[in-house]
Amino acid sequence: MARRLLSLAITTGLALLLAGCGLFKREERAAWRGQAEKACLAQKQVTPSAYVQPAKAIDGPGPCGLDFPFKVTALSEGSVAFNTTQTLGCPLTAALDEWVRDVVQPIALARFGQPVTQVDTMGAYSCRPIDGHRSNRLSEHAFGNAVDVSVFRFADGRSVSLARGWTKGDAQEKAFLREAQAGACNIFTTVLAPGSDANHNDHLHLDLAMHGQTSTGPRRICKPLPSPQLLPAPQRRDNLPDAPDIDDDIDVAQAGGASRSMSLAAALPPAPISKAPAQPMRSASLAPAPMAPIPLPPIPLPPPRPMTREGVFAYDATATIRPRR
């Protein structure tokens, strides 16, 4: 009898152990994330330097982490510093370098005649859910695929913050921030500026999340939607039906109903430094959250990143730190 009970106990224990292994299996990180990192490295979009140092892989907790993280202290070959060292993935590092080089600096010179020398952030890698709400899925911050920009600092000592400059800054500051946001919408797949919701009134959230495809290319979420002069409507690439106007589960507050849109009543002045007329800028699909049109002279901005035939932005949409010579 005792042997039977012992045998039954062992059998039951093994069954529970095997069931537990399946029940408590750790959630896996999406495969495309590691593929994007490897593709970025293979294409040498980021080159290690004194300002961009490879770090040990981050594995967990849960699916959080990166296979090939970088510790980044500055962009643009050291000319634009971060206020603190940031842990970023290769694709995001490349995208930030492109944005600073091709969007932020030309606009800074056009508006103020001074380059940006530092970008202050409110964080990059952090294993947390969206907006810190436990009920939400993991944020792109949890994969080193997002960064929150709060302040731009210039060579002459000027600083332009999102918290003040977006609504209370002078005309040139307001124009600079809106043009920087519009240019970001052609590089990143999620761009959330003040006015997108209550959680983003003091910073610019930038990430490379995958939101799927539309009839105009990769789905990009840009809130508040810049004026058509800054970000023209995208051109259709195929005969697929338009994507429905839905809110993806992104880094936006889930409570409080629809997001609030910011508007600028006063017209902004032209840039004090003359610029050559820009070519019409192509755009990808954007989620609706319109701002009032702002009359501004065109500023040259880069076209949206291309997609592979398979529609996976991770491979060739992470371009662009130029190889060092």
What DSSP assignment string belongs to 219-275? Answer: EEEEESBPPTTTSPPPPP-SSPPPPP----S-SS--SSSSPPPP---SPPPPPSS--
**In this predicted model, which residue has the larger pLDDT, 223 or 136?**
223
Alpha-carbon distance 213 to 242, whole Å? 10
The answer as to whether 111 is a domain residue is: yes
Is 53's pLDDT higher than 60?
Answer: yes
- Give the residue-averaged pLDDT of 129-135: 62
The answer as to whether 198 is a domain residue is: yes
What b/e string do you get for 112-129 counting C-beta neighbours within 10 Å, with b at 16 or more? beebbbbbbbbebbebbe
- Give the residue-averaged pLDDT of 83-99: 97
pLDDT band at 219 (very low <50, low <70, confident <90, very high): confident
**Count of helices and strands (H, E) across the chain:** 7, 13
The answer as to whether 106 is a domain residue is: yes
Give SS3 for 36.
Answer: helix
- Give the residue-averaged pLDDT of 195-210: 92
Is 260's pLDDT higher than 70?
Answer: no
pLDDT band at 306 (very low <50, low <70, confident <90, very high): low
| DSSP class of 103 | I
Alpha-carbon distance 199 to 196, whole Å? 8
DSSP E strands, 41-115: 52-54, 58-59, 65-66, 70-75, 80-88
pLDDT band at 203 (very low <50, low <70, confident <90, very high): very high
- Give the residue-averaged pLDDT of 96-106: 98
**In this predicted model, which residue has the larger pLDDT, 303 or 50?**
50
pLDDT band at 25 (very low <50, low <70, confident <90, very high): low
Is 228's pLDDT higher than 70?
Answer: yes
| The model's pTM | 0.71
Q: What is the percent of the chain where pLDDT is above 90? A: 52
Q: What confidence score (pLDDT) does residue 133 get? A: 55
Alpha-carbon distance 207 to 121, whole Å? 13
The answer as to whether 136 is a domain residue is: yes
Is 87's pLDDT higher than 50?
Answer: yes
**In this predicted model, which residue has the larger pLDDT, 172 or 23?**
172
Q: What confidence score (pLDDT) does residue 11 get? A: 57
The answer as to whether 133 is a domain residue is: yes
Check: CB of residue 291 under 8 Å from CB of residue 226: yes
The answer as to whether 120 is a domain residue is: yes
State which residues form the domain around 146. 27-234+282-316
Is 217's pLDDT higher than 70?
Answer: yes
The answer as to whether 249 is a domain residue is: no
Beta 146-154 vs 204-207: how paired, if at all? antiparallel
**In this predicted model, which residue has the larger pLDDT, 134 or 79?**
79
- Please provide the average confidence, as pLDDT, over all residues in the chain: 76
Is 320's pLDDT higher than 50?
Answer: no
pLDDT band at 234 (very low <50, low <70, confident <90, very high): confident
Is 302's pLDDT higher than 70?
Answer: no
Is 136's pLDDT higher than 80?
Answer: no
Is 35's pLDDT higher than 80?
Answer: yes
- Give the residue-averaged pLDDT of 112-132: 90
What b/e string do you get for 232-244 counting C-beta neighbours within 10 Å, with b at 16 or more? eebeeeeeeeeee
Check: CB of residue 251 under 8 Å from CB of residue 197: no
pLDDT band at 152 (very low <50, low <70, confident <90, very high): very high
Number of domains the chain is built from: 1
Is 1's pLDDT higher than 90?
Answer: no
**In this predicted model, which residue has the larger pLDDT, 254 or 169?**
169
pLDDT band at 175 (very low <50, low <70, confident <90, very high): very high
Q: What confidence score (pLDDT) does residue 198 get? A: 81
Beta 190-192 vs 217-223: how paired, if at all? parallel
The answer as to whether 130 is a domain residue is: yes
Number of residues assigned to the chain? 325
